[in-house]
Structure 1
Amino acid sequence: MLADDETVVALVAEARSRGMDVVICALTTIEAVHARTDKARLRRLLSGLRVIPVGDEEAKAASALLMGVGLHGHTYAIDAAVAEAALRQQRPVVMLTSDTDDMAKLCGDRVRLVAV
């Protein structure tokens, strides 16, 4: 959404029109920020989403996901936290992601992945 990707904007609008929660893992905001990020725009976009925090219990569950599929936290920590947040949501869950391969490993068939 931050990049105004038409597909992502349309999918989020459709989810909202169906009364679905649109959530984002708090750690995803770290991946979205770079030197040219419009911070005001980011704040506006995030204000329209439910941001899922990552605490101790969530971190432990994300670590267990990593261990379960043989991935290392150094490389996949944020992916694991995002997957763990998705797995905690009421089903059905649809995840928009640019990394369907890793998310498929972490979420299995419990989350429908849409490549963006």
Structure 2
Amino acid sequence: MARRRLSHEGTLVLDSEGLSKLLADDEQVVALVAEARSRGMEVVISALTIIEAVHSRTSMSRLNWVLSGLRVIVVGDEEARSASKLLMNAGLHGHKYAIDAVVAEAALRQHRPVAVLTSDIDDIAKLCGDRVRLIAV
């Protein structure tokens, strides 16, 4: 990943690949998150991102430590309905896009400017349009 400049303030949203790489101490993702924090950006994830990123080899103590430094966004009825609407508007449906839609919905509700660290550039772009900045992971 090439070095990318982040805005001052605003929000950095991580998808499951971003969280997975943060958990794995990926040098580039750790540096990006550190830069975001140094610029006053809040770093957030959707609660569903935890479910998607965790697997049998995940260190639960590492997960808990990483999560303690992030704001985890709860997904309730209102958020689920908004995510469903994003899917419909983008012409997408089904489980393949469900968590991407939740990540996109969460990103669209954050303090601007918003950057999304994602492995699903095409899907998040369809869901958010140009309202967020996408950073490939």
RMSD between aligned residues: 0.7
Distance in 1, matches of 2:136 and 2:28, equals: 10
Determine the structure 1 residue equivalent to 2:14.
none
TM-score normalised per structure 2: 0.83
Deviations 1:28-56, CA, capped at 9 Å, x for gaps: 00111111111110010001000001000
Deviation at 1:5, TM superposition (A): 1.4
Distance in 2, matches of 1:101 and 1:68, equals: 15
User: Among 66, 69, 76, which residue is 2:90 paired with?
Assistant: 69
Deviation at 1:69, TM superposition (A): 0.6
Distance in 2, matches of 1:5 and 1:73, equals: 31
Deviation at 1:64, TM superposition (A): 0.0
Q: 1:1-116 counterparts in 2 under 5 A? A: 1-116=22-137
* Cα pair 1:25 1:82 within 8 Å, conserved: yes
Distance in 1, matches of 2:84 and 2:111, equals: 21
Residue 51 of structure 1 aligns to a residue whose secondary structure is: strand
- For structure 2, the 5+ residue unaligned runs are 1-21
Deviation at 1:73, TM superposition (A): 3.0
Distance in 2, matches of 1:58 and 1:73, equals: 17
1:24 corresponds to which letter in structure 2?
A: I
* Cα pair 1:86 1:111 within 8 Å, conserved: yes
2:73 corresponds to which letter in structure 1?
A: I
Distance in 2, matches of 1:99 and 1:13, equals: 22
